[in-house]
Amino acid sequence: MRPRYLLLTAFFLAFVLFFSGCTSSKPACKGDEACEKWQSCDLPSGKCLPRAGYCVANENCGDAKKVCEPNSHLCTFKQPFCADDVDCEAWQTCDLVLGECRPRLGTCTSDDFCLNEWEFCNPEYHKCLPTPGRCIDAVDCQEWQLCNVTSKGCYTKPGRCDTTPECERWQQCDLTTNRCTAKAGFCANDKACKEFEVCNSDTHRCETAKTSCSADSECNWWQQCNLNSHSCEKRFGFCSGSQDCTQWEKCDTVSHTCEPGEGQCASDAECPVWQSCSSSDHTCETKPGFCGSDSECAATERCRLDTSKADVFKCYTILCSSNADCPGSTCDIGFHRCR
């Protein structure tokens, strides 16, 4: 037991000697150069001791209001004690009667110093400033806010937001920009839609443009949707305009099929019975030996238009007894034929 006691005692003495600036392993000093800057050499003892005004422990300060700073080895006042303003923070002044640091005029240590209910004591500046959301002017508000100088409250600028309820129902508040943006599945304008879509200003949903499509049902009955270009195109065998037809055809606006143009034909069935359809220019031409009017017969002939006759739509010779029987010519009385 006794050896253990002696060991602890030795350890304690070594500890004290170390913090006094001298250990048993450190040689005795012969001058101040062997000591720390805050020490001087005590030649009789050969030990480095604190210089006047310096300290090793709080007890060296000789004042219960002071403590020994371990880095500078100087005695300084403990908060809130002071001897003059130098011992206080920049926002404090020393009350020489109490010997304590007090807030300077216009500064604070707690909200109790503030006169207005919308202020608080800012611990960084030690000044009464508007609480978050309250203001004196716009400087106290966020970039996207303005200040109501009467109520001392910040409010959102037009077109900006703080929460989603401040936006339209189809929008949400983007808290990175504090602007209302379209929710997923909604649009603000055509730029948010696909190339073949437009933004419906009532529903704020992207819809296929009237000139575009995404399914056959969005086209006319005679059209189909091209899913590559998203445009309605005519079905095979139909037309959207005469440009889809041959030169001698026109596009019927009701049936959307190509039909022969005026004076044009595709087959004999589209011509009068005395005519046939020309395969070269698709016009109805009078068949050889037939007629449709007197002009297609000789001067002494007329075109038979009476459908009850067997030789209908054929030229027949006419007899005359006077010039009156031969319109446009004269009557050869000898042969009773129009000249």
What's the pLDDT tens digit per position in 202-214?
Answer: 999 998 877 788 8
Rounded to 5, what percent of the chain is helix, strand, coil?
15, 25, 60
Q: What integer pLDDT is reported at residue 15 of this predicted model?
A: 45
Q: What integer pLDDT is reported at residue 202 of this predicted model?
A: 92
d(CA 47, CA 32): 10
Q: Where are the domains of the chain?
A: 85-130, 242-286, 294-338
Beta bridge partners of 128: 121
d(CA 104, CA 272): 117
Neighbour tally for 117: CB within 10 Å: 10
Mention every residue, 6+ apart, whose C-beta is less than 8 A from residue 165: none
Contact (Cβ atoms closer than 8 angstroms) between residue 66 and residue 73: no
Beta bridge partners of 66: 77
Whole-number average pLDDT of the chain:
85
- Identify which has the larger pLDDT, 204 or 337: 204
Q: Which residue has the tokens 């445009």?
A: 231
Q: Averaged over 307-329, what is the pLDDT?
A: 83
Q: Averaged over 208-222, what is the pLDDT?
A: 85
Neighbour tally for 73: CB within 10 Å: 19
User: How far is CA 50 from its chain centroid?
Assistant: 70
* Long-range pairs, 219-222, Cβ under 8 A, ≥24: 220/256, 222/256
Confidence of residue 316 (pLDDT cuts 50, 70, 90): confident
Confidence of residue 9 (pLDDT cuts 50, 70, 90): very low
Q: What integer pLDDT is reported at residue 20 of this predicted model?
A: 47
Beta bridge partners of 320: none
Q: What integer pLDDT is reported at residue 26 of this predicted model?
A: 59
Rounded alpha-carbon distances, angstroms, from residue 103 to 126, 149, 182: 9, 28, 51
d(CA 33, CA 45): 16
**Three-class DSSP category at 303:** strand
d(CA 21, CA 38): 10
Rounded alpha-carbon distances, angstroms, from residue 311 to 119, 220, 236, 290, 316: 118, 50, 44, 9, 8
Token output for 242: 């005469």
Confidence of residue 5 (pLDDT cuts 50, 70, 90): very low
DSSP labels, 17-80: HHHTT--TTSPPPSSGGGS-TTEEEETTTTEEEEPTTB-SSGGGG--TTEEE-TTT-BEEEPTT
Q: Does residue 43 register a pLDDT over 60?
A: yes
Contact (Cβ atoms closer than 8 angstroms) between residue 218 and residue 225: yes
Please tell me whether the overall predicted TM-score, pTM, comes out greater than 0.75 for this model: no
Contact (Cβ atoms closer than 8 angstroms) between residue 127 and residue 106: yes
d(CA 32, CA 49): 10
Contact (Cβ atoms closer than 8 angstroms) between residue 56 and residue 69: no
